Structure 1
Amino acid sequence: MKRYDDIIIGFGKGGKTLAGALAGSGRRVALIEQSAQMYGGTCINVACIPSKSLEHSARMSAAQGGSFADRAARYAQAIAKKRRLTAALRQKNLAKLQSAGVEVILGRAAFTGPQTLSVALPDGGIQQLQGGHIFINTGAQPNLPAIPGLKESRYTYTSQTLMELDALPAELVIIGGGYIGLEFASYYQNFGARVTVVQNTGDFMPREDAEVAAAVRQSLQDRGVQLLFGAQVQRVEDGPDAATVYLQQAGERRALSAQAVLVAVGRHPNTEGLGCERAGVALTDRGAVQVDEQLRTTAPGVWAMGDVAGGLQFTYISLDDSRIVKSQLLGDGGRTTQNRGAVPYSVFLDPPMARVGLTEQEAKDRGLSVQVARLPVAAIPKAQVLDQTTGLFKVVIEAASGRILGAHLFGAEAHELINIFKLAIDIGVPYTVLRDNIYTHPTMAEGIGDLLAAVR
């Protein structure tokens, strides 16, 4: 049985970052990954990086216009570009860990005891490992609902597999109106597909600020995305050249043709087959690894990081998880999930939407007296320069203190600007600091000054 100081299961952002840090401190470290196509983790292979590569290519394609054949050709080029990018990043990530002294083992790991693992190797062999510390970083995978014919259809895709489709579908039906579904709706509409989003509830972005959500909805509809709310998918049937998605909405039955059906109804943690029970690692009701604020599991010497730990499913959360664990092993142990500050996020639509902190309604529900600032993106000179004038910026401020409680940005460069508000919230400065800051011109950032000058 091979022995290591530390063993990481999964090549995700948190796992690879922690592995490099621990190996750099002189520890003997192994990292186990079950697929050579996932070196580097979910983000660079099947999520953030490839999807944002497609988002950029789609936006460029929309600007060029042309026939469906023209756009389909550019889509094929974008897929090829995406594959080159992910292949290069996989190799870079593998080389980086190996050069740091991490032993990367290709195989599927399962616990055999509290500190021991069995690894099924590609050649059929079994390797037994023991680790002083073990870190679970196995990520999550897309859900597939029990809709008759959906799983069996050759036209069914997840957010991971759709990006491997070589030919642009003329018609794309997306089951699920959450963030992932809306992002893909935006990409493929820009590429030239006819996109329909089917959402089983009547709400659109229910967790977002109502005004901003309304602006996003209007923008998607103006671009041609069809949004069907309160629609229940009944079944999916394959034909010779397309699938038919049968649904019911407001008592009316409908049938939608699609060369591709994207299922985007959430993700679930990858714990199946991991043998957590043999290590004394408890799972939550949702199947995630149960952790405390320091990401320790119920088994001594075992931690969990990233999506598998049941928190927010962002790669930068996985990165911060590695800092929390590293703080315990190599630092003062002070960093926890409770003190990492406000967490921003972005939805990469065209234009993007980004948020950090409370909505106006959430603040009022907490009994806070608030002031609000709004600014149409069209009022920002740089937006006019970019010819990207769609959108609305909104900030929520505590009236008594002037502290920023939340920022909700829908417009050009929102995904960049939101980080400024995250920092302002974390350090607790009054909104006037950002209002009176000196910004370069012409930039989208200077819109922050104009936005906060409109506080009422």
Structure 2
Amino acid sequence: MKAEYDIVVIGFGKAGKTLAAKFSKAGKSVALVEKDENMYGGTCINVGCIPSKRLITDASKSPNGEFEKKAQYYKEAVAEKKKLTAALRKANYDKIAGAGVDIIDGMATFKDVHHIIVSTKDKNVEIEAKKFIINTGSLTVIPDIEGVNSKGIYTSESIMNLDKLPKKLTIVGGGYIGLEFASMYADFGSKVTIVQDSDVFLPREDDDIAKSIREVLESKGVEIVTGARVTKLEEGKLYYEVAKESKTLDSDVILLAVGRRPNTDGLGCENAGVKLTDRGAVETDEHLKTSANNIWAAGDVCGKLQFTYISLDDSRIIYDEIMGEDKRTTENRGAFSYSVFINPPFARVGMSEKDAKLAGVEYKVLSLSANAIPKAKVLRKTDGMLKALVTSDGTVLGAALFCEESYEMINFIKLAMDHGIKAKDIANFIFTHPTMSESLNDLFIM
């Protein structure tokens, strides 16, 4: 460990580790500071995308039969998940260390704009750097509810280490994280109830899409309670009010899934002149530079789009400004797509009907039932629907795909949108057969 570096990255997330390796290979002296050795590689690898999607995949193969049989299968799936994350954690550490980056275990706190104090297990170390990258990610929001620290209450991170399958699972929050866990645990064999405070299920999505997703979840036995205010939690019980009526819900396990917040705790941003937003996120410009001229921020800590691939693109923007042509910005990366890994998965890019109406944009709706797709019949997964918005000249405004393999298909549509490919071009594109993607031939017929 040296006392001075060209660049210090705080946080081992996607953007941070990518930038650390690239800067080091470019000849810069680089250190990466990570406060938790169980988070090498970042949220995605350890407590986010990878472990949850591994469990979701295993859940879709859960055996039929008695609950005890399902519970044993679940226990084995969790054990395999732990092996996977441990292997990825080591691989990430070895890759970054092998790139010549000094990895420092400890909590970083800014002393001033050019210095941080790193609290390690043994001592406090002062480190100087010309430039800093903040990539500390996000934390689960813990709601202010009586009894929130009771036994049997989990977050999206901690529940993935629970090796006993709950017979009854209650999820507080009807957002995308909550839906993924609801679908997964229902597939594993749990009786799942979602309790959300909003009166509207999936308010960000169009009504027809939300209705289709809700119907599929309910067909798995998932109960969805809207307009519910949770008043108290305790082991095995959740208390809530709906239309001023008090109710109680028994549950083996309660999952808190009400969102995530930027992780700036203990960073001492004020000591370096780094401004935070009202929500506690690091404030950045379109180049992801903070209010301090030598400090940038990337990923969830910026309080914007909480996706691993956005964090990766953030790294491209920062690297381009420091080492490249300074052309990439958050404003010119085009439409972004996202996927929700329920079963079947849901993916969207660009405008919804709600967005188009709000913006006063004229549009035409194109739609297709997943049941009409030959590959869906082959897979025996025909639930869902596909929907696209186009202008009169065929410009693609957006799409929502609720069907098997939608998480792959949506990338093709984003590429089409980014490069001005029209609906007729997609309708006439030659896809391989039988595939889910060839359904876009039919979807984009105007």
In the TM superposition, what is the alpha-carbon distance from 1:330 to its structure 2 partner? 1.4
Which residue in the other structure is 2:66 paired with? 67
User: 1:262-277, aligned counterparts within 5 Å?
Assistant: 262-277=255-270
Q: Assess if the C-alpha contact under 8 Å between 2:205 and 2:354 holds in 1.
A: no
2:178 to 181, 199, 224: 181
Which residue in the other structure is 1:281 paired with? 274
Q: Indicate the SS of the match to 2:388.
A: strand
Aligned-partner residue type, residue 206 of structure 2:
D
In the TM superposition, what is the alpha-carbon distance from 1:255 to its structure 2 partner? 1.1
Which residue in the other structure is 1:139 paired with? 137
- What CA distance in whole angstroms lies between the structure 2 residues aligned with 1:186 and 1:166? 18
Which residue in the other structure is 1:228 paired with? 225
Calculate the TM-score normalised by the size of structure 1: 0.96
Q: Assess if the C-alpha contact under 8 Å between 2:364 and 2:391 holds in 1.
A: yes
- What CA distance in whole angstroms lies between the structure 2 residues aligned with 1:365 and 1:293? 25
In the TM superposition, what is the alpha-carbon distance from 1:451 to its structure 2 partner? 1.2
Q: Assess if the C-alpha contact under 8 Å between 1:14 and 1:305 holds in 2.
A: yes
1:440 to 432, 437, 444: 432
Determine if the alignment matches structure 1 residue 191 to structure 2 residue 191. no
- What CA distance in whole angstroms lies between the structure 2 residues aligned with 1:23 and 1:248? 55
2:403 to 398, 405, 411: 411
Q: Indicate the SS of the match to 2:289.
A: coil
- What CA distance in whole angstroms lies between the structure 1 residues aligned with 2:233 and 2:27? 55
In the TM superposition, what is the alpha-carbon distance from 1:250 to its structure 2 partner? 2.0
Aligned-partner residue type, residue 126 of structure 1:
N
356-365 or 164-173, which deviates more? 356-365
In the TM superposition, what is the alpha-carbon distance from 1:203 to its structure 2 partner? 0.8
Which residue in the other structure is 1:422 paired with? 414
Q: Assess if the C-alpha contact under 8 Å between 1:112 and 1:118 holds in 2.
A: yes
Which residue in the other structure is 1:322 paired with? 315
Q: Assess if the C-alpha contact under 8 Å between 1:439 and 1:446 holds in 2.
A: yes
In the TM superposition, what is the alpha-carbon distance from 1:248 to its structure 2 partner? 1.2
- What CA distance in whole angstroms lies between the structure 2 residues aligned with 1:194 and 1:128? 52
1:165 to 159, 162, 173: 162
Aligned-partner residue type, residue 101 of structure 1:
G
- What CA distance in whole angstroms lies between the structure 1 residues aligned with 2:403 and 2:391? 24
Which residue in the other structure is 1:380 paired with? 373
Runs of 4+ residues over 3 Å off in structure 1 = none
Determine if the alignment matches structure 1 residue 117 to structure 2 residue 116. yes
- What CA distance in whole angstroms lies between the structure 2 residues aligned with 1:196 and 1:58? 17
- What CA distance in whole angstroms lies between the structure 1 residues aligned with 2:340 and 2:421? 26
- What CA distance in whole angstroms lies between the structure 2 residues aligned with 1:20 and 1:260? 41
Once superposed, what is the RMSD of the aligned Cα atoms?
0.9
Q: Indicate the SS of the match to 2:231.
A: strand
In the TM superposition, what is the alpha-carbon distance from 1:368 to its structure 2 partner? 2.0
- What CA distance in whole angstroms lies between the structure 2 residues aligned with 1:424 and 1:403? 9
Q: Assess if the C-alpha contact under 8 Å between 1:209 and 1:408 holds in 2.
A: no
Determine if the alignment matches structure 1 residue 210 to structure 2 residue 210. no
Aligned-partner residue type, residue 60 of structure 1:
K
Determine if the alignment matches structure 1 residue 349 to structure 2 residue 342. yes
Aligned-partner residue type, residue 113 of structure 1:
D
Gaps of 5+ in 1: none
Which residue in the other structure is 1:309 paired with? 302
Q: Assess if the C-alpha contact under 8 Å between 2:151 and 2:234 holds in 1.
A: no
Gaps of 5+ in 2: none
- What CA distance in whole angstroms lies between the structure 2 residues aligned with 1:368 and 1:304? 34
Calculate the TM-score normalised by the size of structure 2: 0.99
